Amino acid sequence: MNGNRSRRRFLGQATRVLASIAAANSVSRLVSAQQADNAAGSTFVYVGCFTSEDRGASGEGINVYRVDPVSMDWEHVQLVPDLVNPSFLALDPAGRFLYSAHGDMDYATAYAIDATSGELTLVNRESTGGTNGVHLAVDPTNRFLVVSNYSSGSLAVLPINADGSLAPRSDLVELPGAPGPHPTQQTSSHPHQNPFDPDGRFMLVPDKGLDKVFVFSLDVESGSLVPADTPSIPTEPGAGPRHAEFHPARPYAYVLNELDSTVGVYEYDSLSGAMRRTQLLSTLPDDFSGNNTTAEIFAHPSGRFLYCSNRGHDSIVAYEIDQASGQLAALGWTPSGGERPRFFGLDPSATHLYACNELGHNIVAFAIDSASGSLSPTGKVVETGSPVTLVFSQAGPTGE
């Protein structure tokens, strides 16, 4: 009988152990599933910077952060070190690869993005055929990368291979024209940006040195840039056009002029690339008399608001967009929270704006009021050296 009791105790203990193991495995699977779900829905931020002594910079490379969906805090994930001025970043349409221009250098770099961790792995580097790349954009077909070479006055087209790597140039175009009147900032052509329009048919190229906005289409069969029927639009002499933006749904374009701190409103024909200016206004309040240059411009995805950054006044100006005309009315100026906001960007939800203060060495978060367009500091500040660009990526189950 004692043997039977011992056997029953053993069987009972074994059953409890097996049940405990099964429960633990079940919890483990649930935790793993939850972690996978969290990873699949993660938002990552990639921050570029200036690093070189020539620029008096203190950046260290490309920093990767994960955004907590509840607290909105940024958790540092990775530093990609030993880079020279990774000063403008762009994602491919699927969010699988990140591309970097390098200020003062003559190449662009491709990185693969890990879909779970958000971490970057170098794919390759390719010559841009010019110097001081300041902007790059992937075309809507995901087959080409276009780069603005600021110092050498040219646009480079680099084919993108199936593995995300960059191939040797398919085109290199020098921009023609007479320099503007500024004695130091307009000695030659200085293309500063090359964004594609919402239809992907044309790109605008503000040339700070020539006081022109060039218009090109991209022949995706040959990888060649083709001037539009009206190949360029002049700005005011000495304006120094820097960046351009499109209304997300209506036929309007906006050009931010760096040297005279103005923004121009244009009617935009997406079928021909033609532009006609309808308004020109200051990015500064009437009572400001100090030195200032502008830097970045973004339209809110709602199409109701436009934002521009001022360096000197160190502010973000908000405008309301008239939907019938595209014209702007200033809503107000918000301090950027640091010195020289060279760049700012919106998060994927378009509820927050993040200002990159180059000489403030920080990134400052602002909540966007969806009704008024006004900005309010959230108190969230990321300290990082010489930040000058950022992009957001949302991971999916396959990294797309």
Residue 4 has pLDDT above 90, yes or no: no
CA distance linking residue 253 with residue 276, whole number of Å: 9
Give percent of the chain with pLDDT exceeding 90: 88
Q: Regarding the domain delimited by 42-394, which CATH topology (the fold level of the hierarchy) does it fall under?
A: Methylamine Dehydrogenase; Chain H (2.130.10)
Buried b (16+ CB within 10 A) or exposed e, 151-176: bbbbbbbbbbeeebbbeebbbbbebe
Q: Each residue of 125-156: pLDDT tens digit?
A: 999 999 999 999 999 999 999 999 999 999 99
- pLDDT tier for residue 200 given thresholds of 50, 70 and 90: very high
Buried b (16+ CB within 10 A) or exposed e, 256-273: bbbbbbbbbbbebbeeeb
The pairing of beta strand 74-81 with beta strand 61-67 = antiparallel
174 alpha-carbon distance from chain centroid:
25
Give percent of the chain with pLDDT exceeding 70: 88
Q: pTM of the full predicted structure?
A: 0.90
CA distance linking residue 112 with residue 124, whole number of Å: 10
The confidence score (pLDDT) of residue 236 equals 98
The confidence score (pLDDT) of residue 3 equals 46
Q: Each residue of 355-373: pLDDT tens digit?
A: 999 999 999 999 999 999 9
CA-nearest of 292, 282, 150, 269 to 207 is 150
Neighbours of 106 (CB within 10 A): 16
The confidence score (pLDDT) of residue 71 equals 94
Q: Each residue of 255-313: pLDDT tens digit?
A: 999 999 999 999 999 999 999 999 999 999 999 999 999 999 999 999 999 999 999 99
Tokens of 244: 């351009």
Q: Each residue of 82-101: pLDDT tens digit?
A: 999 999 999 999 999 999 99
Residue type, 288: F
CA distance linking residue 139 with residue 93, whole number of Å: 9
The confidence score (pLDDT) of residue 74 equals 98
β-pair partners for 357: 341, 362
Average pLDDT of the residues in 159-183 = 98
Edge-to-edge strand list for the sheet holding 241-246: 241-246, 252-257, 262-268, 275-282
Calculated CA dihedral for residues 150, 156, 157, 161, nearest 10 degrees: -90
Q: Each residue of 318-331: pLDDT tens digit?
A: 999 999 999 999 99
Three-state DSSP string of 258-287: CCCCEEEEEEECCCCCCEEEEEEEECCCCC
Q: Each residue of 257-272: pLDDT tens digit?
A: 999 999 999 999 999 9
Residue 168 has pLDDT above 50, yes or no: yes
Residue 24 has pLDDT above 80, yes or no: no
- pLDDT tier for residue 29 given thresholds of 50, 70 and 90: very low
CA distance linking residue 57 with residue 339, whole number of Å: 13
Q: Each residue of 103-114: pLDDT tens digit?
A: 999 999 999 999
Give me the chain's average pLDDT, please.
91
Q: Each residue of 40-89: pLDDT tens digit?
A: 578 999 999 999 999 999 999 999 999 999 999 999 999 999 999 999 99
The dihedral built from the CA positions of residue 384, 58, 85 and 186, taken in this order, carries a sign that is positive
Tokens of 369: 């009021």
Q: Outline where the chain has alpha helix (H).
A: 2-40
The confidence score (pLDDT) of residue 396 equals 53
| Three-state DSSP state, 205 | strand
> Where are the extended beta strands (E) located within 41-127?
43-49, 61-67, 74-81, 86-91, 97-102, 107-113, 120-127
The confidence score (pLDDT) of residue 178 equals 98
DSSP 395: -
Domain map (residue ranges) of the chain = 1-40, 42-394
156 alpha-carbon distance from chain centroid:
19
Tokens of 122: 């170098």
CA distance linking residue 114 with residue 355, whole number of Å: 26
